[in-house]
Structure 1
Amino acid sequence: MKAPTLHKHYTALDGLRGLAILLVFIRHSFLTTHLNSLPAQILAWLGSGGWLGVDLFFVLSGFLITGILIDSLNKPRYFKDFYIRRSLRIFPLFYGVLLLCWILTPVLHLQWQLGHLSYLFYCQNIAVDLNPSLSHVPPALNLEHFWSLAVEEQFYMLWPLTIFLLRDPRKIIRSSLSTIAVGLLARCILLLVFPSEKIMEWIYNGLPTHADGLLMGAVFAASIRIWSLDEILRRMRWPVYFCAAIAVAIVAISHRLDFHTYLMSSVGYTVSAILFGGLLLRCLAPGSSAQAFFSTKIMRFFGKYSYGIYVYHLLFTPVLSRLLYRLQALLHSRLLGAMAYLVLWFALSIAVAVVSYKFFESPFLRLKDRFAPPKDKDPDVIANDLTTVTLVGQSAVR
């Protein structure tokens, strides 16, 4: 198989991001409708596995960000450019939404707590573990999904220095795999000493215990700079098959797709990271079915607006959910009312995300080239273009 080339845009990665946001929405949709029929319960059971969408986001982030960092190592403004470009992509929407919510306080009668200040410093995942009530702002805001934004931002704060010190892709691979092993061991010890759903939540929300996806993405970003894509796919074939068998066993033993099980909270995150890493690699393979599917316009559309959809889709559900019961009463059917509600909720989430991207986020994105001009082209594009220059038989960083 011909190796991917530098600066070639791999649209399948956009579509893979689209799958991630769809999985997240599916999970939250079935937590909202409260239907009790057998078909609805089966769908809800399947939908409960949608939390894996966040793990897919992690794998993509680890892969793309590590690629950007490796390819920027020899640039004089390595740290400055990275943080400027990341800030212009992430901060405007995040802090803009928090500012909007604060402005709406008298309108929605929001009841803020002192602990909500943690959101300003991307520490909400830690704060919510200590005080679960901080995941909401009664009576109108739901901020529980913001935990993953904190995990990624904490990773972004630590990872550039790590890559700068390691430099060699082989060292990055060894360090990432070692850290994954330490995280797995830490989860097993925590679950053994403190066996409870609360500790499962702590494990799920914490960077040290839920970094498998980010680090596995980094492993593949470094690997593809050493070996050909064919070689990596060959090496990963049996690990992926083995992890698929483990995933089936976990579900069969636990009877659940949710992460609130001992098996999923221990080995599950490592297994999902490897499986999603394998899927990512297939998306890079020219002519593969994965590349064809995730390159479709519909999947790329969801991927393009995934950040906004993720931020907005749960934000006002305490208020929006009142519409569910009205629709069920209007249509004289819990099922039809729930279906109408989900369609409306999803459509509104997409519409708000599109408007936000075009009129609020895009002006900030255009500032990237002004304050952190790339040498050749936008590093984010190079990354999604597969910052994966494949240098067969030699290190990408000398």
Structure 2
Amino acid sequence: MKNSNLKRIDLLQVYRGLAAILVLFFHGSVILSQQFNQQEFFFNIGGVGWIGVDFFFVLSGFIIYYVHQNDIGHPNKIKSYILKRFIRVYPLYWTILICKIVALFFINYGNSTYDLSFLSSLKNISLYPQKERLLNVSWTLSCEVFFYIIFGILIVVGYKRFLPLFILWTTGILINSVWFIESFQGIPILNLIFNTINLEFLLGGLIAYIISTQKITFKRGLFFNYLATFLLALFLTMYQSQVIDDGTGIMWAFAFALLILGSAAVEINKTIKIPVFLVYIGNASYSIYLTHGFFVSNIAKVMTKLNSSVVTSPPLVINAVALMIFTLTIGLGCLVYSYIEKPLITLLRAQLLPRKLT
């Protein structure tokens, strides 16, 4: 199956930004609740922000298949694929990781202790799964890299030869989802391989396959968007009412998959004018994602030192302060993107990706 006329879908970039902001609200609410002694922010909407990770994973599965579908079954494309994926993930991650290590010597992280042994450091650098990490959010990057490896195997061997491995792998995931295998939790690499989160990447890939092989009309795209919006609102209501809990990621992933399917169909069929700043925030989503914890924590510390009374302020004032901190964090993440991530990627692509590989 070939599709050489891939259309850029800007809505997906907007969704990447939205996913990053959801995670920011989740982690930011936790951090500020500790520093401001406030139990709830924004009516606890931030408490469901963890679904941003599920959104990210479905988006990643979609984007990887959508962009690299023509490489499948062509082993000569693997070098370009590996270099592109490496450049996308590791350079900025290593930059932020180094900053975190340096910060450990100057910033008080309370009772937190970090393992800086050679083996642990090597695992942090390579994103090899482990229980304790220098960057908490890096566990999601380990999942991303593993999916990249699986997709790389698909590129090399093609659909038919990949099928037996795919069946074995997905069977293990499904067995683990139904019959919880406790030993997997004690062995990080097995937990990574058979984690049900992998189904979210596969769901995104399936949606990309449907978009690439089926003509989905504009009206059907709108229908999928409406259905996804209804499901997300329903799940949010159920979550806030404690009918469902944090272990329902695949439910949210299904709704996000419908949203992506509908949005992709709508934009492929009709040109949509999307505000440039929303696309820009989407482009900066990786920088925002990697840096948001550091910025929220330290901005809050500075504010409490400058004005300690903020801790005892009424809830309305504290929520306004939290919103200001989150907005500033997004802005700083965008600066990291513009002045570190983007130049770094441009430089490395020019050096490592000759034109014949692009």
State the TM bucket, normalised to the shorter chain.
0.7 to 0.9
Q: Does 1:219 align with 2:222?
A: no
What does 1:186-265 correspond to in 2, within 5 Å?
A: 186-190=176-180, 206-209=192-195, 210-230=197-217, 244=231, 248=235, 251=238, 255=242, 258-259=245-246, 265=247
> How much has 1:149 moved relative to structure 2?
1.2
**Whole-Å separation in 1 of the counterparts to 2:237 and 2:310:** 42
**Whole-Å separation in 2 of the counterparts to 1:245 and 1:7:** 28
Q: Closer, same or farther in 2 for the Cα pair 1:117/1:245, shift >3 Å?
A: closer
How many residue pairs get matched?
339
Amino acid at match of 1:215: L
Q: Does 1:159 align with 2:162?
A: no
The answer to whether the 8 A contact 1:177-1:219 is kept is no
> How much has 1:311 moved relative to structure 2?
0.3
Amino acid at match of 1:363: P
The answer to whether the 8 A contact 2:238-2:244 is kept is yes
Which of 160, 185, 194 is matched with 2:175 structurally? Answer: 185
Q: Closer, same or farther in 2 for the Cα pair 1:337/1:175, shift >3 Å?
A: farther
Bigger drift between 338-347 and 55-64 goes to: 338-347
* Number of the residue aligned with 1:354: 334
**Whole-Å separation in 2 of the counterparts to 1:364 and 1:282:** 34
**Whole-Å separation in 1 of the counterparts to 2:114 and 2:290:** 19
Q: Does 1:269 align with 2:249?
A: yes
Amino acid at match of 1:274: F
Q: Closer, same or farther in 2 for the Cα pair 1:102/1:328, shift >3 Å?
A: closer
* Number of the residue aligned with 2:51: 52
Which of 106, 120, 123 is matched with 1:118 structurally? Answer: 123
Which of 286, 310, 322 is matched with 2:289 structurally? Answer: 310
What is the percentage of aligned positions where both structures have the same residue? Answer: 21
Tell me the TM-score normalized by structure 2: 0.76
Tell me the TM-score normalized by structure 1: 0.69
Unaligned runs of 5+ in 1: 129-133, 137-142, 260-264, 379-398
**Whole-Å separation in 2 of the counterparts to 1:85 and 1:271:** 31
Q: Does 1:29 align with 2:10?
A: no
* Number of the residue aligned with 2:345: 365
Q: Closer, same or farther in 2 for the Cα pair 1:373/1:63, shift >3 Å?
A: farther
Amino acid at match of 2:15: L
Unaligned runs of 5+ in 2: none
Amino acid at match of 2:209: A
Root mean square deviation of aligned Cα: 4.3
Structure with the greater relative contact order (CA < 8 A, sep ≥ 6): 1 or 2? 1
Q: Closer, same or farther in 2 for the Cα pair 1:291/1:31, shift >3 Å?
A: farther
TM superposition outliers: structure 1 runs of 4+ over 6 Å = 35-38, 174-178
